Structure 1
Amino acid sequence: MKWIPGLLLALGLSFTAQAEKFTIAAASDLRYALDEILEGYKAEHPDQRVEVIYGSSGKMTTQIINGAPYDVFFSADIAFPEKLKEEGLTATEPEVYAIGRIVLWSKTQDASRLTLADLTRDDIKRIAIAQPAHAPYGARAQEAMTATGVWDQVQDKLVFGENIAHTAQMVASEAADVGIIALSLARFPDLASHGHYLIDDRLHQPLTQGYVVTKRAEHNEAARGFARYMATEPAHVIMERYGFLLPASQP
C-alpha cells in the first residue's frame, strides 16, 4: 500500500509542527519588552509559531490551574509560579527573570515633579492602579501608598485597571489624571515623551518576577528553548532598556 509511507510522513510533519508551536502567558508589564525580544527570537527560529497572551499574573495563574493551554508563564510575581509548582502544574522550577519597578506617570501633568504625597491634592481627582487582588503591580502600588500614609486619603479617587497595561491605557486616555504603572511601560516610546517619578522600592515588597515552563509543555522543546533564550544577552539588553533589573545586576 503505497499511501502508507506518505501518510506516516504527513503525520510526522504534523507532530513536528505541533512541537514547534507554543503559547506564552505573560504579565502585562512585559508587553513591549517581550514583543521586542520575540522579534529577535523569531528571526533565529523562523520555523516556530509563538502566541503570546498578556494579562494579570493572578488571573493567568487561575486559568492555568483550570486547564488553560499555556506552555510558558512569565509572572510579575514569582509567588504565582511557585503556586503552580505546589499544584503539580510545572515542568521546571520557578526561576527569577527580572525585578520590576513602579512609577508615577501622567499624560496631563509633569509626573517627574510629583511624589506619592501629591496624590492627595485637590486637582488630582482620579488615580489609576492595577487591581491589587490579582495584579502584583497593583499590590505594590497599594503597599507604597500605605507606607507613605496616603492610601486611606485617596480611596475615593482610585480607579482600577484589570492589569498594569490596562492601567497605563487608562492614564494615557486621560480617564485618570495620574497612575502608578510599571517602569517598563513608562519607558515605551509612546509613553516616554511624558516624565515619570520612580517610586522608592523600599516602600513596597520587591516585584520579583519569575517564570516556569508548565506541565503541559514538559516535552515541548521549543517552549523550553524560548525560556532559555530569555537568559541570553540579546534578551537582557532589551529587558534592561525597559528598566528591569536582572538577577545578576541586583544590588
Structure 2
Amino acid sequence: MLRQLSLAVVLLTAASVRSDEVSVAVAANFAAPMRKIAAEFEKDSGHAIVASFGSTGKFYAQIKAGAPFEVLLAADDETPARLEKEGDGVAGSRFTYAVGKLVLWSRKEGFVDDQGAVLGRNGFQHLALPNPRLAPYGAAGVQALQALGLLDRLQSKLVTAENLAQTYQFVASGNAELGFVALSQVYREGRIAAGSGWIVPSKLHELIRQDALLLTRGKGSPGPAELLNYLRSDKARSIIRSHGYEL
C-alpha cells in the first residue's frame, strides 16, 4: 500500500513538473491558427496556453513595461529583433514562424477582380488599411499602392484603422467598400470564404515576415521552449498553411 502511495505521489509530482502555463502575446492576424495550434499543443504536451491577441506595437510597450509574457508571436520581424537587442528576448531564439499575405478584400461578391484593377477605377469612396506606421500589413498596402502608381490618386480615399481587426470591421460593416487585410482573416478551406479579394503579389511589397521570440520571462521554463519547437512541427506548419500563410 505504501509503495502504491509513493508511486502515486511520484506520478503527481511528475505531472505537476510537466504541466506549465505559457503566456503568449500573439499578433491579432494570427488568432485563428493560434487557437488551433494551442489546442493541439495542449493535447500533445500537457502545457496550457494563455494567449493574448492584439497589436504587436502595443505588445512591445507592454513587454517593456513588465508585462508577464513569455513568448511573442509578432506580426513583423522588426519588433522581436528590437526586443532581442534590448535584452528583453533570449538571444538566438528568434525565428520566422509565418510569412503573411496581403489581400485587397471587399465583402461584396465580384467587387474585387483577380488583378486588383478595381483600384484604378473610381467605383469606391473608401479604402481601409491598418496604420502603416504601426502595422506591417498597412505598410505593405501603402507599398503596393506606390508600386502600382496609385498612392497619390487614392490618398483622399484612404481610411486608416488602428489595427487589422478594425480594418476588417470597416470593410465587413460596409463603412469602407474595400480594404487591405491579412489573407488569414478571410481565408477558409483553401479560398477566400466570403466576398471577393485579390491576393496582392509579394513583388509589390516587402515580405511580411512574422517572427517568434522567447522572452526573458520564459527563459528556463519548459513550456515556452516546447511551444516554440512545436511551431516548427509538421502539425503546426500544416495549420499555418491552411490559414493562408507561407512558410
Alignment coverage as a number of residue pairs: 233
- Which region of structure 1 is more displaced relative to structure 2, 107-116 or 74-83? 107-116
Q: Name the structure 2 match of 1:233.
A: 234
Query: What is the correspondence of 1:189-228 to structure 2 with a 5 Å cutoff?
Result: 192-228=193-229
Q: Name the structure 2 match of 1:134.
A: 134
Runs of 5+ unmatched residues, structure 2:
1-8
Contact 1:107 1:174 in 2 (8 A): yes
Deviation at 1:194, TM superposition (A): 2.4
Amino acid in structure 1 at the alignment position of 2:241 = E
Secondary structure of the equivalent of 1:37?
Answer: helix
- Which region of structure 1 is more displaced relative to structure 2, 114-123 or 56-65? 114-123
Amino acid in structure 2 at the alignment position of 1:227 = L
Overall identity of the aligned pairs, in %: 29
> Please, what is the CA RMSD of the aligned residues?
2.4
Runs of 5+ unmatched residues, structure 1:
1-8, 247-251
Secondary structure of the equivalent of 2:61?
Answer: helix
- Which region of structure 1 is more displaced relative to structure 2, 91-100 or 229-238? 91-100
Q: Name the structure 2 match of 1:172.
A: 172
Q: How far, CA to CA, are the matches of 2:110 and 2:40 in structure 1? A: 34
Name the CA shift for 1:83/1:18 in 2 (closer, same or farther; >3 Å).
Answer: farther
Contact 1:24 1:52 in 2 (8 A): yes
Deviation at 1:18, TM superposition (A): 11
Query: What is the correspondence of 1:1-251 to structure 2 with a 5 Å cutoff?
Result: 20-46=20-46, 48-93=47-92, 94-113=94-113, 115-188=115-188, 192-246=193-247
Name the CA shift for 1:222/1:111 in 2 (closer, same or farther; >3 Å).
Answer: farther
Q: How far, CA to CA, are the matches of 2:45 and 2:19 in structure 1? A: 13
Amino acid in structure 1 at the alignment position of 2:65 = N
Q: How far, CA to CA, are the matches of 2:116 and 2:75 in structure 1? A: 22
Amino acid in structure 1 at the alignment position of 2:33 = A
Contact 2:112 2:198 in 1 (8 A): yes
Name the CA shift for 1:118/1:215 in 2 (closer, same or farther; >3 Å).
Answer: same
Deviation at 1:241, TM superposition (A): 0.9
Deviation at 1:161, TM superposition (A): 2.3
- Which region of structure 1 is more displaced relative to structure 2, 114-123 or 149-158? 114-123
Q: How far, CA to CA, are the matches of 2:115 and 2:104 in structure 1? A: 8
Secondary structure of the equivalent of 1:133?
Answer: coil
Deviation at 1:74, TM superposition (A): 0.8
Secondary structure of the equivalent of 2:149?
Answer: coil
Amino acid in structure 1 at the alignment position of 2:106 = S
Q: How far, CA to CA, are the matches of 1:102 and 1:17 in structure 2? A: 42
Name the CA shift for 1:111/1:245 in 2 (closer, same or farther; >3 Å).
Answer: farther
Q: How far, CA to CA, are the matches of 1:128 and 1:18 in structure 2? A: 46
Secondary structure of the equivalent of 2:198?
Answer: strand
Q: How far, CA to CA, are the matches of 2:34 and 2:59 in structure 1? A: 17
TM-score by length of 2: 0.86
Contact 2:102 2:141 in 1 (8 A): yes
Q: How far, CA to CA, are the matches of 1:87 and 1:184 in structure 2? A: 31
Name the CA shift for 1:199/1:126 in 2 (closer, same or farther; >3 Å).
Answer: same
